[in-house]
Every structure is written in C-alpha cells, then in structure tokens.
Structure 1
Amino acid sequence: LLQEECVVPNGSDQSLLEKLLTTHSSNPVFARSKQSARNTTIAHFSVVHYAGKVQYNIDGWVEKNKDAVERSGLDVLSESKKPILQALFPKPKNGAVRPRKPSLCASTVSHMYKEQLLNLLETLNTTRAQFIRCISPNDHRQPGFIDSHLVLHQLRCNGVLEGVRICRQGYPNRLPFDEFINRYKLLSSGGQFEADSEGASQLCRILKLDPARAQIGTTKVFCKVGVISQVS
C-alpha cells in the first residue's frame, strides 16, 4: 500500500492511512489509535506485536519512502575524485545518459528494504545460522541497572522460559559413549569398559544412576538436568 501511494498522483499520508484502515479493518492486530480517532489531523495507527502494542505515526511516510534525489546532485557526486564516492556514484557507462526519471517503484526505501530482506533470507537459507537472543536490561540505556520485570517480560516473549522448561523435562546433557566412559570411569575403582552401549550401561549401574534419569541411546548417554552435576 505504501508503494502504491508513492506512485499514484497526489499520494498523501492521510490517504495511505485510510487505505490501511480499510484494508486491515478486520485484522485483530491492527487498529486506529485513539488519538487518530479523535483528531483526524493526527495520523496514527497501532499494531499489536508479540511483545505488546506499538503505535506508529504515519506523518511523512510517503515523502520519506520516495527518497527523491536531484539528478544534478548525482551528477556532481559521480564527478568526485574521492574513491569511495566514485564507487557509490559511478558515472554512466559508454556515454549513457542518466535517466531523468528513474523507476520510482525500484528506488523507494520500502522496495530496497524488501529486496535486502529477501537477499538476507536467501543467504541465511544456505547457512547453518546460530542465533543469539539479546535482552535489554532497562529502558533508560543506563549501565549497571537491571529492570527485572522488563527482563522477565522479554525472556517470556522470546520463548526462552518455555525453552528452558522443555529442556529440563527432556535430556539436555548428551555425552557420546567414549566421552562418558573416559570422564567417569575413574569412579569405578579401575574397571574396564568398552566404548559402547553395554560399557556405558555397566558404568551407569556402578555409579548407581537412576535409569529414568540416565538413558542409554544408540551412540550417547542421555542425562536429565542435575545428573552430570551429581556425578561430577
């Protein structure tokens, strides 16, 4: 909708807001803000994200999304002797003339942002990504101050607490047979164990581990939370 509003003649923020409200009026996560409902000169709308409701001010969206740049400015930058500017604003090749009206759809901020996201997703799909969850300690950007309620809210919304609960109910500690035996065989008074399921089972019996808390798999020993700490 934002892209279309930038292309149509006399597109405006208020027109965009009305289109958003009309298109998403039945969506439970989208709503016109109370300020905008009372005063038509205030163009706000709200979106209910997973962590709470966020209010957006739509003023200036259409103009900012167009990201218009004067052609004369591009020509000046392309004539620069600075290497970084030459790389960012190359001259037209083979005497080509820079188009006076580049495609608006291909030059808007939202279009370029969408293309960047698609390229990023394409790259991520070819990798084995490891994600780090970042938690903000407080809303005041102050070091050494932790707002426990804010941190707990983020952990809950990010699914960290649920992940920990599921992890505790499962077998989070998993050791290959050879690693398990090499690490804990010294507790067996010099016994000899093969690095297989039978050897791991024998060592578990000597260590008096509860079979319900230490399971023998095909290649690993699966332990509940606390078993490794107990043995160590």
Structure 2
Amino acid sequence: ESLGTMLSSTECSFIRCIKPNAEMLSGVFDRKYVLEQLRSLGILQTCGVLRSGLPTRIRYADIESMYRPLLPEQLVHLFKDLSSQAFCEAILWAAPNVDKSSYAMGRSRLFFRTGKVT
C-alpha cells in the first residue's frame, strides 16, 4: 500500500520528521537531540493527553465562535473583553452538567474525554 493511499484513507494525518542527530550521520542516534525535537514539537504532551483519555481536542477560538452567538443578550457584556480561552473557561465553569473530569484545558485547545463532544 502506498503512502499516498494510506494518508488519503484517514481523516487526519500529519507527518513530523525527526532528525536522529544534528550532524546528519548515518547510523547515529542522539537520544538527547531526538528528545529535544519531540519536546519542542509538543509530541510528548500530545502522547500524554491521549494516554490520559482526552483524545478530542478543539481550539478555544473554534468553541468561542460556536457558542458566543448563543449567549443571552443580557450576558453579552460580561463576556465582551474575554480572550477565547477565558471565554471557554467561563462557560465551562457556568455549565451545570459539565463534569470537570471530562475535559482539560491546554495552551490553545480544550481536550475532552472520549464521547463527551458530539
């Protein structure tokens, strides 16, 4: 199966190239160099989030654009100057049926447990 066929058959794919060493030498693996790349790409954090059971992730700005128009007119002024992240935090705090263990807040996204977002 070709790489193109495999990539087109999935919903979301990304490829990260990790260099095994700074000198680009064949057969040489620099563990510290690779770990530094994994950290800076956020791969280690992503693995931790997925391992903790929070695979669904949505950008704060996307959530804000979905829910800001639904605010009751009398509350609009309270949310006017909030950042996207603060907006999401406020609506999650105020939501009566949202269990805090069903989500986690990252730097730019909200992470949800499996089945919590429909």
- TM-score class, shorter: 0.3 to 0.5
Higher RCO, Cα 8 Å, sep 6+:
2
Instruction: Tell me which structure has the larger Cα radius of gyration.
Output: 1
TM norm structure 1: 0.25
TM norm structure 2: 0.45
